[in-house]
Structure 1
Amino acid sequence: MVKMLTDLASNLLGRKIGKWSVNKKLSGTANLGGGGFSSGYIAKADDGTVGYLKAINIHYAFQSTGKNFADLMNEITGDYIHERDLLAYCRDQGLDRIVAAIDGDIHHEPGHFIPVPYLVFELCEKGDIARHSQMASPGLAWRLRIFHGACVGLAQLHRHGIAHQDMKPENVLVFQDDISKLADLGRSTKNESGARFGNPCDGGDMAYAPFELWYRVNHPEWDVRRRATDLFMLGGVLAFLVANVNLLSLTLGKLPLNMQPRTNLNLSGWSGTYDALIPTLRRCLCEAVAEIVSTIRNDMRYPIERMLLWLCEPDPLRRGHPETVGQTFSDRYSLERIITVADRLAIDARIPERK
């Protein structure tokens, strides 16, 4: 069986995939919102449209996971259809801060046993914020404008009952005129019974996940379990933008080993309740945020510190803008007030600091 599995997805350069001529292979997929088990290309359609083609690499997934091949095919095909349909829904609903998929299909080629599911996205020539050249330049105005766009994109998803679940710097792309959009809905889920990626372990990159997931807290309410996670990750994006740091690791690193998450590398980690840990986590978060804002201009420190503490609050029931969280019978995770504050931050950052 293994000898029949040729790695077509990694060798599409020069081929015709549907109406797309594959002209360039990219060294990595993350800079264009790729994701795991995929290969990235620049492709040109018959009508001259240029896009980013993400080819799902079933061959690599099989080699990496060792799963039963038939089961893996079903799993990856299901994941592909889930992402394709979710992207089509976002496009049809006019979610303009979500990177648009402009085509997609499952490519079969004679002589190759494994098909290649693929999606073609609008081309982002400037890449993601993790690798953007502007991150090497001083100043907050550009960074906070990008953050505001990420807030708008996440709010668009949430209004339609979608949780992104993998908000991180690599999934915030910068387009022409510095318009930022959210990419990679491969781990996103909908607030529907039986929705794909709706289980507690189905989130995205744990390097950016909220504290409660590290301590295996699974809240029964969907909004708390999913949208609160997105808010925390949005705060992580802000921390990266203003100081190029990972807020999660910075905060957890301030805990003693016996209060850090219990993992295979730390068997002496926390065994108590999460609620009992929250006050200590909150103190460590305040220390981490203070370090982050100490590197930026004085007049912007307090509003950015406040935003980080709102979004990354250890108690998911208190996470978000305090006036929104505290309102009875309201949408506790609405991002409307967060967007308003983010917009003001971006405007204020354009004004030179008074000496």
Structure 2
Amino acid sequence: MEAMTEPNAAYRLTGLTLKNGWVVGERLKTGTEAGGSGGFFSVSYAVSKDGRTAFLKAFDLVKALKRGQAQGRSLVSILGDQAKAFTFETDLHDLCAGAKLRRVVRIIDHGEVDVPPEGHEQILQIPYMIMELADGGDVRGYLGKNTAVDLEMKLTYLKDVVLGLFQLHGVKIAHQDLKPSNVMIFGEVMAKVGDLGRASSQDHVSLHDNLDVAGDKNYAPPEQLYGYPLVGWLDRRMRCDLYQFASVIVFVFFGRTLNNALFEYLPQDIKPAFFHGTCSSYDTALPFLLSSFDTAISEWETQCPIWLGKDLMQIIRQAGHPDYLQRGARKALRQSVPQLGLDRFVSEFQRLILRASIEARKEASRAIA
């Protein structure tokens, strides 16, 4: 067994049999271990049962305790919050499964497992949830490919992601932490949105609802990074998801985040604290962000095939606009009751997928000739 970086009960599930017959296999590298941007108090494993494989997410209570105690919180309040977080996330997954959201990773089982004690440990009962295992990993493994066939695949994955967001919003859930590591690939033909650990529900309060940034700050929209106060569900939650989706598009096609492009060349007195700046005013920074956005859009268009560049830039411009009020499909925003129009983005990706298929056939014909 590999050396444990944090030797506590959550890291010692390998070999255990869970109450419903699932056998815990090897620990999976996720977050910073896998070259990503980290996670929130969880450890991942492969599990199997009757020839079926799945993905287990174990809650790392020791890490949560250490963080909470460093903040001066009591043991009771920390454990209480972790219990609420576990219940909230499993309830959201159960809701998604009941609504048959086919582009959201499905929960299979959840419960608690007793882990044999070691040393002076006190916490031995670890909550877990079991979900579909993405046999293709996450979308980060599909970067750097630019033939028409590969572009068709990327566009298909992105269509599935925005469809997953559309489905989540339809049951009043906002993801809040959409990033490449949470875009899971199944059979290399389908993508699903995974990890609802930082999601918000319009009908139920979660522990992180009051945070300026609920998820990964590398993918957070500018208004959140500058601490700009938003209250309404559409502006604060749904538009955050759409911005993060735009950043996933940028990452899939150009290998970087949208925030890196926006903040890279801004002076320090315009950048937010997360990007080592001193500015705390979204209104002050917005004109500079718009300029950076326009520059990036122009550069990215030149890196795309002629048939794709303009249309893809239109999607990024509408989904990832630094001005949150401009974020959304243009025709949907002009309706009497403004909407984001995620279904319109789905349709646009479907059109581009068809075009990519046509271009792939052309490439194949030229290769034969």
TM-score, normalization by structure 2 = 0.86
* Separation (CA, whole Å) in 1 of partners of 2:23 and 2:216: 32
Matches within 5 A, 1:232-247: 232-247=243-258
**Which is worse superposed, 276-285 or 238-247?**
276-285
Matches within 5 A, 1:291-310: 291-310=299-318
Measured after TM superposition, the shift of residue 349 of structure 1 is: 2.1
> Contact (CA 8 Å) 1:80, 1:117: kept in 2 or not?
yes
Measured after TM superposition, the shift of residue 135 of structure 1 is: 1.9
Q: What is the DSSP-based 3-state SS (H/G/I as helix, E as strand, rest coil) of the residue aligned with 2:25?
A: strand
Q: What is the DSSP-based 3-state SS (H/G/I as helix, E as strand, rest coil) of the residue aligned with 2:58?
A: strand
> Contact (CA 8 Å) 1:174, 1:180: kept in 2 or not?
yes
Give yes or no for the alignment of 1:323 onto 2:331: yes
Give yes or no for the alignment of 1:138 onto 2:141: no
**Residue 66 (structure 1) aligns with:** 69
Q: What is the DSSP-based 3-state SS (H/G/I as helix, E as strand, rest coil) of the residue aligned with 2:212?
A: helix
**Residue 3 (structure 2) aligns with:** none
Give yes or no for the alignment of 1:344 onto 2:357: no
Q: What is the DSSP-based 3-state SS (H/G/I as helix, E as strand, rest coil) of the residue aligned with 1:116?
A: strand
Give yes or no for the alignment of 1:78 onto 2:78: no
C-alpha RMSD of matched pairs (Å): 2.5
**Residue 149 (structure 1) aligns with:** 160
Measured after TM superposition, the shift of residue 307 of structure 1 is: 0.8
Structure 2 unaligned regions, length at least 5: 1-5, 364-369
Measured after TM superposition, the shift of residue 159 of structure 1 is: 0.9
Q: Deviations over 1:260-283 (max 9, x none)?
A: 1145943xx3355x3343333212
**Residue 96 (structure 2) aligns with:** 90
**Residue 270 (structure 1) aligns with:** 279
Q: What is the DSSP-based 3-state SS (H/G/I as helix, E as strand, rest coil) of the residue aligned with 1:66?
A: helix
> Contact (CA 8 Å) 2:217, 2:274: kept in 1 or not?
no
Letter in 2 for 1:297: P
**Which is worse superposed, 15-24 or 181-190?**
15-24
Measured after TM superposition, the shift of residue 333 of structure 1 is: 1.7
Structure 1 unaligned regions, length at least 5: none
**Residue 167 (structure 1) aligns with:** 178
> Contact (CA 8 Å) 2:13, 2:115: kept in 1 or not?
no
* Separation (CA, whole Å) in 2 of partners of 1:121 and 1:33: 21
Measured after TM superposition, the shift of residue 35 of structure 1 is: 3.4
Q: Deviations over 1:175-205 (max 9, x none)?
A: 0142100000000011136344322435100
**Residue 108 (structure 2) aligns with:** 102
> Contact (CA 8 Å) 1:87, 1:100: kept in 2 or not?
yes
Measured after TM superposition, the shift of residue 322 of structure 1 is: 0.7
Measured after TM superposition, the shift of residue 33 of structure 1 is: 12
**Residue 128 (structure 1) aligns with:** 138
**Residue 14 (structure 1) aligns with:** 15
* Separation (CA, whole Å) in 1 of partners of 2:178 and 2:259: 13
* Separation (CA, whole Å) in 1 of partners of 2:307 and 2:27: 44
Change (3 A) 1:40 1:34: farther
Measured after TM superposition, the shift of residue 61 of structure 1 is: 2.8
Q: Which one of the candidate residues 35, 54, 57 is aligned to 1:54?
A: 57
Q: What is the DSSP-based 3-state SS (H/G/I as helix, E as strand, rest coil) of the residue aligned with 2:139?
A: coil
**Which is worse superposed, 36-45 or 80-89?**
36-45
Identity of aligned residues (%): 27
**Residue 314 (structure 1) aligns with:** 322
Q: What is the DSSP-based 3-state SS (H/G/I as helix, E as strand, rest coil) of the residue aligned with 1:350?
A: helix
Give yes or no for the alignment of 1:248 onto 2:254: no
**Residue 116 (structure 1) aligns with:** 126
Measured after TM superposition, the shift of residue 17 of structure 1 is: 2.0
> Contact (CA 8 Å) 1:52, 1:120: kept in 2 or not?
yes
Measured after TM superposition, the shift of residue 21 of structure 1 is: 1.0
> Contact (CA 8 Å) 2:212, 2:227: kept in 1 or not?
no
**Which is worse superposed, 284-293 or 110-119?**
110-119
Q: What is the DSSP-based 3-state SS (H/G/I as helix, E as strand, rest coil) of the residue aligned with 1:184?
A: coil
Letter in 2 for 1:55: A
Q: Deviations over 1:228-286 (max 9, x none)?
A: 000000000100111111111111113222211145943xx3355x3343333212101
Letter in 1 for 2:39: G
Measured after TM superposition, the shift of residue 304 of structure 1 is: 0.8
Change (3 A) 1:277 1:63: closer
> Contact (CA 8 Å) 2:85, 2:206: kept in 1 or not?
no
